[in-house]
Structure 1
Amino acid sequence: MTVVRRTLLRHALATLAAVLLVCALVVAGVWWLAHDEAERRAEQISRRVAAAVVVPLADRDLDAAGPEARQQLLEDVAPFRTVGMVTRVKIWLVEGPSARVVFSDEPKIEGLTRRFDPELAARLDGGAAVVLDVPVDEEHRYEPGPNQREVFLGFTDAAGRPARLEVYVPVDINGATVRALGLLVPPVIAGLLAVALAVLPLSVALARRRDRERAERRDAALYGLAAGELARRDLARRLHDDVLPGLASAGMMLDLAPARPELLSRARESVGDGMTRIRSVLDELLPEEIDAAGLPGALRALAAADEPVAAVEIGTVDGLGDRSAVLLYRAAGELLRNARAHSSASRITVRFAVVGDRARLTVSDDGTGFDPDAHPVPGHVGLPLVRRAAEDAGGRVTVRSAPGAGSTVVVELPAT
């Protein structure tokens, strides 16, 4: 599966998860608001009913009220029942720890007695309106449906006895939730999808960048292994072809020296030449430490070490730190090897200068050039390594090239 396909799949799954999570939060929030609004509406309606019936009830002795009082009460609550604001009204008369239904628009309930919760009674005596879910029990067997709230209000009748007005208000929490979700969910989903589409190019770009970085790390590891193997082979070849024959020849001449003394000086020359060649190999394996002051000379030595010999232009090095000098030296060596090995250039130029607080190294050639945006060819990871090292040090690498137009690589680092 390609990087783009994997990214699209992950992006789609992340978007789906975000949509489901946000929709779940919206549903929970809307349901909570609908529930809260239902209780608030039930309390408002109960107080309107109380304003219509409690005043006349407070002027009556509820224990002695007759049929005329009951009929009057039915007429008072009839408008609320007709428009569907309430489904049931009860009047409770408190008798010690219990209460008795002295009026209801459902006659079968009148005379029902039950104990009242002391905490509920204290809240009602304090003037609060208490909204409760309608329970499913014997007392409520005549109630018209489950989508209701019962609201209790406290008052006192003409005889000074505490009483309770109970009003049943129909509510439709589920319906209100569905209607609100129908208005809210489509814009929320559309907004999330718009955000997901807007960030999709960034996700693809980041995924491609991560894939390139993984490829660069893999290529760097392979490059390191290959470089080590090449170095060992080159060392073995140079020792075998350059050093060993001279030392073997010196040994033979030493064997013949007693008969031919003139061979002794030639043997010394062969041994000395072998030592020089070994020292040269060691110098390449263990280069001298580079510091800021020695960087110009080290760059000139790199430029002259192989063909084609590069031209070197050195500006000011004032303010350059030793650590930056080491990194620039290594970058220059890698860029010169790339130019010599891959560009087929006839002219290579190395420029270096410190400008302000930035150190700038430029390596340019007139070779075949390449496409800087293309993925590195397997095994050609010198430039990505230089770029990664420069970025890790707070710098940057700029490449200007095109097929057939040569190449220019600029490495900028903090001077210190």
Structure 2
Amino acid sequence: MRLLRHPVVGFLLVSGALLVVIAVVAGRLADRAAEEGALAERRATNRLVTAALVEPYLKERLFPGSSKSLPGTLDRFDREMRQLVTNSPARIEALTVRAADGTVVYAPDLSLIGQVYPLTAAEEEALLDGGTGSAPAGDRAPLVPAGPDGSPEDLVQVFTGSQTPQGRQVLVEAFYDVQDIEARRAEIYNAYRWITVGPFLLLVVIVTCLLTLLTRQLRTASRDRERLLRSAISASDAERRRIARDLHDGVVQDLAGTAFSLSALSRDPATPTRARDLLEDTGVALRDSLKALRSLLAEIHPPDLHARGLAAALSDLVAPAEAAGIEATVAVHDDVAHAPDAEVALVWRVAQEAVRNAIRHSAAGRLSVEVGAAPSGLVLEVADDGVGFDPEAVRDRSSYGLRGLQSLVEDTGGSLVVDSAPGEGTRVLLRVER
């Protein structure tokens, strides 16, 4: 799943999908264009053949029933057309000529001469304007000859309008092998395909390289930022340890010694009764202050912050809740015992801020802190039944401490969710990713 979130992988997946769509659409368009291009070449060939090789032999005496018909005219025309078909580089399979009324002037099967096969609308249009058209030859039987495989369906009819020197209009029809046209269509299609898909592939390669470079730069910057954050946290921890050590070795020890001295003095028989009561009250106040100071020291920096000491550290953390009238519970599951110190430290940081906010602002009656282990890392949940708040309303407040930990949690690959609403308490959920 983490691999799928990589920007380069995501880009390649999207590009692959787009490439498939483009290839399908462009393939269909290119196939149509290639087919039209192949037929256009055959139409151009047919115009050239008609003008250069057929029209010179179209004499008036060739037409059936012509008064100028001479013996042998049809035989000579038949020889010329058969030689044309045999020697044609365009690989013409057969050639026929029809008059404007559909009468067959010439066909390879001489028995068809004189028979009438009405012209189609496209053939009539080509006849009138001297243009060229094409159509499947299968529906022109028996006028069309059999193709290479013995079927008229294997041929394509290409027709061109022409006329004799005397002005009589004729339709010259050539029949070409479908396989030849398909081969030419494939050649044209391949050229179109690389023209359409090639630039996109090149663009994908270039953008992938740029995106990979930018991703590496961003990851380097992110690692530098994470290193700075960790350095700042390490410096903060060191300063917290120093302050806690100085307080513990100085003020706390002095106050503890003073409290013991006051207690001993209050029990001395030589001390007047009135002074004894005052000394006892002062000793109790000092001991209460020592408890509060020790809780503060634990909050500044717990003395035993690792997996096995996490439960004790969290218990010290929630100790001030009792003074605020909040019933606090701490639950650390056994599967947390082998968690890395870095994860434990992050859990402590988030729990510290969440508990501090709950004690100060929630007016809650109950507060629970629970830590467990998941396959991906540790899971912390801090929940209270207090007044709650609107997370959107405080999102821009720089004083909201959990925001300061959000970036650090995200840099580790984890997630920090604050779920709250007015009157419904607050739930802070941390998931630490390994």
Tell me which of the two structures has the higher relative contact order, counting C-alpha pairs closer than 8 angstroms and 6 or more residues apart: 1
Give TM-score scaled by structure 2 length: 0.44
